[in-house]
Chains A and B, each alone.
Chain A
Amino acid sequence: MSSPDIFDGAEARILDRGYRRYDGERTGVNGSVRSVVVHSIQRGLGLRRSIWAKVLPVATAAIAYVPAIVFVGIVALIPARRLTDFVLPTYGEYYGYVISAILLFVAFAAPEMLCTDRRSGMLGIYLASPLNRDTYLLAKALAVATTLAVVCLGPPLLMLVANIFQGQGPEGVGETLLTLLRVLGAGAMITLLYTGVTMGVASLTDRKAIATAGVILLLLVSGTIGGTLADVTGTDDYLMLSVSSLSLDIGPRVHGETPFDQLEITSLSSYLAWFGWTVGGFALARFQLRRLPVTR
């Protein structure tokens, strides 16, 4: 019996998929912020991109972790009685070992996340969504801060956790909690400092290379100005005008240690400088974003 209605499946093809409506729930502004944060972090770390986009962030992050891993290794491999032969850094001093990696990382991260949106027109698409300028900036700040925390907060936290597991951490629950809070506090302050400063600089241009050069220039120039003023006036507090010196000062200070032994820098000037650089950077980024035309 013939069956004329049966045709060869290989000849079948989809001519029109039709249009499907969506009546489900929408995630609102929170979902928009979350999506921009995740996408920006992936961009900053080179994830879901070519291998070349991953090289710099992965390499600098690895460099920031190397000393921590070495110190943890020393603690793990060398008997406790011989550990006194080694001068291991405190959690506050750790930043001095990795400041170059941190500076390199921060100089590239924020420009990658902010300048790209302006240059590629994504800013207009974002602001045509439930996001507004402030929630967009919040999402970007969260993304930059989370990415920078990888190198500013991660290594000391790794050291602390590893030391606790090896029985070489702070003694007692109270001391452990206090040290944990200090590690988190110092890491958060340094992260916020670099987030504010780099977002401020990156908001001035839509070109990543110029923004990166601008961040490096700011770090050098602020160091030169701070050092010169401190020399001329004899007041060490002026050193806090230097962003990199400030980040080296904040770590030990939060841990209750005395940063820069030979210098007399007050906590007030250090925290004021931190506040000025951080808030100033965010304010500049917000000011710049508010004046950008986005539908052109």
Chain B
Amino acid sequence: MIRIDGVVKQWGPTVALAGATCTIGGGVTGLLGANGAGKTTLLGMILGLTRPDAGRIEVFGLDPSTAGPEVRARIGYSPEHHLLPPDVKAVDLVRHVAEVNGLPHHEATNRASDALWQVGLGEERGRPVGTMSTGQRQRVKLAQALAHDPKLVLLDEPTDGLDPVQRDGMLELIHRIGHEFGITVLLSSHLLEEVERICDAAVILAGGVVAAAGSLDELRGDGEGLSIEFDAEPHEVEAVLTTIHHSGAEIRVNGRNHLITGDEHLFETVRDAVARHGVGVRTLGRRTVSLEEIFLGVGAATDPTEDPRLAGLPAPPPPPPPAPGGHHQDEPR
């Protein structure tokens, strides 16, 4: 759907993108990055509104900087801001945007109404946008991005300003768009939890480059070692962990789980230790890395500069203060 190859963009002395490369396919993809990471610049380039200084972007196999109108006719765009003409009725606004995006008047009228029903504003469609809440306006923005039946929808911070309940509803809606409606969604967000919850893939921008990209399974499955949760008394757990530790493995506590890293025989080592001490195990599996860990550079590699995916990511946060008594969270044993 979208191919980005070595894209460079500079605004005066500021480098917004410094050779970004990635591919974005179907489903819902999260575009992650801190403020100033180049997310908005990249969205502008996908829409053909900004021309890259170097590199190439292809959307639907076309170059948006030369075939902008053709590309944009198949894209729906929901901007970040909450501003919309306050004195225009929601249905009039959505119909107008659908017409601007190429639908004949009659079809635009029908689809505007349908799109507002889809986003849960069917009963409110006759209300002026200015009388609506932030959550309702976010839905109007989503409806105007959907009404002309695009192949790709770009959503810029679609949950910004929403309360938790509204956010849940919006995320569920975006998930439906990507999976039931068959429309590719590129979701720009700085909220990792949202992306982790509804996206199939993620592109992480940092320092103007793509620090990591791929399906969430690929991104999270790269963690080394095992994650295990015991179903046993503390002293039994302590005994098993001591045995495992003596084999040379490193153990960290993460909530109720223990994250164990070691050599290539780690799985056998853990299995044998558990069997020897006869303790119960609630969960055991490969350790996965959260998007937050990837984003903060503490995922697969200890030193972010060792992993080319993580080059340019911000430094990991300082370790949490030691808990009183017992062993420390995330503290190597």
Using A27-B104, A120-B84 as known contacts, say yes or no to A39 and B44 having CB atoms under 8 A apart: no
B46 to chain A, nearest CB (A): 10
Chain A: residues with Cβ within 8 Å of the partner, total of: 38
- A122 sits at the interface (CB 8 A): yes
Using A19-B180, A27-B102, A27-B103 as known contacts, say yes or no to A129 and B79 having CB atoms under 8 A apart: no
- A73 sits at the interface (CB 8 A): no
Interface string of A1-31 (1 = CB under 8 A from B): 0000000000000000101111011111101
Contact, CB under 8 Å: A132 / B100: no
- A235 sits at the interface (CB 8 A): no
Contact, CB under 8 Å: B104 / A25: yes
* A107-153 at interface with B (beta carbon < 8 Å): 116, 119-122, 124-132, 135
In the bound assembly, the distance between CA atoms of A122 and B78 in angstroms comes to: 11
**Chain A contacts for B63, CB-based, 8 A:** none
**Chain B contacts for A294, CB-based, 8 A:** 44, 49
Contact, CB under 8 Å: B96 / A17: no
Using A121-B83, A130-B73 as known contacts, say yes or no to A31 and B99 having CB atoms under 8 A apart: yes
Contact, CB under 8 Å: A122 / B84: yes
A29 to chain B, nearest CB (A): 5
**Chain A contacts for B101, CB-based, 8 A:** 26, 32, 129-130
A257 to chain B, nearest CB (A): 44
How many inter-chain residue pairs (CB < 8 Å) link A and B?
A: 113
A15 to chain B, nearest CB (A): 12
Chain B interface size, under 10 / 10 to 19 / 20 to 34 / 35 or more: 35 or more
Contact, CB under 8 Å: A125 / B144: yes
Contact, CB under 8 Å: A129 / B118: no
- A262 sits at the interface (CB 8 A): no
B98 to chain A, nearest CB (A): 9
Residue of A nearest to B183 (CB): A19
Interface string of B50-92 (1 = CB under 8 A from A): 1000000000000000001110110101011101111111001
A85 to chain B, nearest CB (A): 50
B85 to chain A, nearest CB (A): 4
Contact, CB under 8 Å: A19 / B118: yes
Contact, CB under 8 Å: A26 / B72: no
Contact, CB under 8 Å: B79 / A125: yes
Residue of B nearest to A126 (CB): B100
In the bound assembly, the distance between CA atoms of A129 and B49 in angstroms comes to: 10
- A48 sits at the interface (CB 8 A): yes
**Chain B contacts for A22, CB-based, 8 A:** 103, 107, 111, 148-149
- B156 sits at the interface (CB 8 A): yes
Contact, CB under 8 Å: A295 / B49: yes
Instruction: Give the residue of B80, B100, B182 whose beta carbon is less than 8 angstroms from that of A129.
Output: B100
**Chain A contacts for B213, CB-based, 8 A:** none
In the bound assembly, the distance between CA atoms of A21 and B43 in angstroms comes to: 25
**Chain B contacts for A20, CB-based, 8 A:** 111, 114, 149
Instruction: Give the residue of B73, B154, B181 whose beta carbon is less than 8 angstroms from that of A19.
Output: B181
**Chain A contacts for B79, CB-based, 8 A:** 121, 124-125, 128, 295
**Mostly helix, strand, loop or mixed at chain A's interface?**
loop
B35 to chain A, nearest CB (A): 12
Contact, CB under 8 Å: B83 / A120: yes
* B155-192 at interface with A (beta carbon < 8 Å): 156, 180-182
- B97 sits at the interface (CB 8 A): yes
Contact, CB under 8 Å: A49 / B83: no
Contact, CB under 8 Å: B144 / A128: no
**Chain A contacts for B40, CB-based, 8 A:** 295-296
**Chain B contacts for A122, CB-based, 8 A:** 84-85
- B142 sits at the interface (CB 8 A): no
Instruction: Give the residue of B83, B84, B100, B149 whose beta carbon is less than 8 angstroms from that of A21.
Output: B149
Residue of B nearest to A39 (CB): B96
Residue of A nearest to B69 (CB): A130
- A66 sits at the interface (CB 8 A): no
**Chain B contacts for A130, CB-based, 8 A:** 68-70, 72-73, 100-102
Using A19-B180, A295-B44 as known contacts, say yes or no to A131 and B96 having CB atoms under 8 A apart: no
Using A121-B79, A125-B77 as known contacts, say yes or no to A131 and B149 having CB atoms under 8 A apart: no
**Chain A contacts for B205, CB-based, 8 A:** none
Instruction: Give the residue of A31, A49, A50, A296 whose beta carbon is less than 8 angstroms from that of B102.
Output: A31
In the bound assembly, the distance between CA atoms of A24 and B107 in angstroms comes to: 9
- A210 sits at the interface (CB 8 A): no
Show 17 A/B contacts (Cβ-Cβ < 8 Å), sorted by A. Answer: A17-B118, A19-B182, A25-B104, A31-B100, A32-B99, A35-B96, A50-B87, A120-B84, A121-B84, A125-B77, A128-B77, A129-B73, A131-B69, A295-B44, A295-B47, A296-B40, A296-B80
Q: A19-B180, A121-B84, A127-B47 are in contact. List 6 more A-B contacts (CB 8 A).
A: A22-B149, A26-B102, A31-B99, A36-B100, A121-B83, A294-B44
Q: Which residues of B contact A (CB under 8 A)?
A: 40, 43-44, 47, 49-50, 68-70, 72-73, 75, 77, 79-81, 83-89, 92, 96-97, 99-104, 107, 111, 114, 117-118, 144, 148-149, 154, 156, 180-182
Nearest 6 CB-CB pairings of A with B: A26-B102, A128-B77, A35-B99, A130-B69, A22-B149, A121-B83
